[in-house]
Amino acid sequence: MINPRLLCDKHLLGEHGEIHKHRHNFEKKHRITRRISPVVQIEPENMENRHEVLVEEMIARGFNHKSPYTQPDLSYLKDVERFAKADLGISVTDLKNRCPECASRITSKYI
Ligand SMILES: [Zn+2]
Ligand SMILES: [Zn+2]
């Protein structure tokens, strides 16, 4: 979703950790209704790709990575959940409001 270069270290590592937590929940076949509605917060089908992109940026910043992500079985989800797409504008605004460091990265790179 958000270009990982715009994330501060804390949010880069935080999102990466969340992806692994979500994978655990997918394996347990947990419902994700509240992550999809009213606002799409996660993109289950896209998580493997997203994990790769985050890991590339983590390695570029000198962090270790030893936790491969393999796509879990998502067939138990409704299509509207499995293939959900987050709104990038909402995600960026939300992050800018929550984190001054991300906000300054986002602002300086957008100019
Ligand atoms: Zn990982
Ligand atoms: Zn941040």
Give 66-88 pLDDT, tens digit per residue. Answer: 989 999 999 999 999 999 999 99
What pTM value is reported for the model?
0.91
The ligand placed nearest to the CA atom of residue 21 is 1
Percentage of residues in the chain with pLDDT exceeding 90? 92
Q: How far is the CA of 70 from the centre of ligand 1 (A)?
A: 10
Q: Is 4 helix (H, G, I), strand (E, B) or coil?
A: helix
Neighbours of ion ligand 2 (CB under 5 A): 8, 11, 99, 101-102
Kindly identify the ligand whose nearest atom is closest to the C-alpha of 105.
2
What confidence tier does 54 reach under pLDDT thresholds 50, 70, 90?
very high
CA of 100 to the centre of ligand 1 (A): 25
- Rounded to an integer, what distance in angstroms lies between the CA atom of residue 74 and that of residue 15? 20
What mean pLDDT value characterizes the chain? Answer: 94
